[in-house]
Amino acid sequence: MEIIKLSILAITGVLLAIMLKNGKNEYSTYIALGTSVILFFYVVGKVGVIVETINKVQSYISISETYIEALIKMVGITYISELTSSICKDAGYNSVSGQIEIFGKISILAVSMPIVLSLMETIDKFIG
């Protein structure tokens, strides 16, 4: 039922920001930012459970730790870049938002390069 609490928090923050948007626009942005930060830290707290589960799965099947680390990094990069991009869009800075999205995608590509190289080596072994 934690999703209900988070949903209520998010809706309350958004409604409060909408109410303040007509009078004090800067306060509206701060309310939206504060709500996003609270939700972010809550989600980060849940990442530990996901990492523990992935480690249990890794103990049952032989998966290289490099792949697991890359997967966790990619999820983290995606979440942080999407959150940051959304905050920038809400504040009206679409160009900054676009740059954050591009940087996030390039970062994910960089993190995935060792996996791509490993895949290419495996394909080369099968072919050659």
Record the tokens describing residue 35, joined without a space.
């709500």
- Considering the entire predicted model, what is its pTM? 0.75
Position 42 scores a pLDDT of 87
H helices, E strands: number in the chain:
4, 0
Measured CA to CA, the distance from residue 83 to residue 10 in angstroms comes to: 14
d(CA 43, CA 79): 10
pLDDT value at position 68? 84
pLDDT at 1 (0 to 100) = 74
Residue 100 has a pLDDT of 94
Structure tokens at 80: 């942080």
What pLDDT does residue 113 have? Answer: 94
Per-domain residue ranges for the chain?
1-61, 64-128
64 in helix, strand or coil? coil
Q: What is the pLDDT along the chain (128 residues), one digit of tens a residue?
A: 788 888 888 899 888 888 888 877 778 888 888 998 898 888 888 888 888 888 888 888 887 888 888 888 998 899 999 989 988 888 888 999 999 999 999 999 999 999 999 889 999 999 97
Residue whose token pair is 């099968």:
126
Single-letter residue type at 3: I
Structure tokens at 126: 């099968």
Burial class of residue 111, CB neighbours in 10 A (0-12, 13-18, 19+): middle
Residue owning tokens 């792949």:
67
